[in-house]
Amino acid sequence: MKNINAILGLVLIISFVLGCSSVSGKKGDEPKMPDIGNKEEKKDNKGEKKSPLPDSRKVPLPPSKKQDNDDPAPNGGGGKTVTFKVAGVQMDLPDGWEYENLSDRFIVKSPDGNLQVFFYVPEDGNFQGANQRVVAEMRQYLEEINPDFENERDSINGIETISSGGKAFYEGTQVLWLIYVYKAPNAPLFTVTVTDPEYFARHKESYNAMMKSVRRV
């Protein structure tokens, strides 16, 4: 009887922990993980879920300044540091994450390639209303864009930020999107992420560390 009571108690504790693990989406938190329902999931030949995601190299951007970044250099912590010269800030890449240094954007990818973040500096250089302009661009490739939070103001390492995030659909699959705009010293640095909620949950610790590492040069 004692063993049965112990097992029931353990089940209740696990249920409570899982029930409290959803994210609030308030300022300083991650957005809620969307409920993607019971749609049939696509699998690759290893049996892992495969969700269609937009190609960060081809996502349409507003007219943007040419990136003048050197290739990331080892930072002594197992990862690499990239300097965004146009914006005047630096950022640490997590260990094992890959990058593409293109002319109009800088793309960072998780080791499995499923979480991609792209960075760019628009020519207009306007920090105010930045998130609304990014959402307008996303409407070219996403549908049913619904925010969980909008225009949340904060600061990271003394740099003012505006962020928004929520859910949308890409090719019929629900995705999670996040926008961070840093009021960098030289020009605002825009960052956009569109991914499957499961992929984000898998890499959110590294993602958060990377986004919080942005600092003045």
pLDDT digits (tens, 9 = 90+) for 43-85: 444 445 567 888 888 887 776 887 777 778 888 777 899 999 9
The number of folded domains in the chain is: 1
CA–CA dist 175, 9 (Å, integer): 36
pTM, to two decimals: 0.74
CATH code of the domain containing 129: 3.40.1000.10
Residue span of the structural domain in which 190 resides: 2-216
Q: Which two tokens stand for residue 110?
A: 């998780």
* pLDDT value at 11 more than 80: no
Torsion of CA 144, 148, 153, 157, to 10 degrees: -100
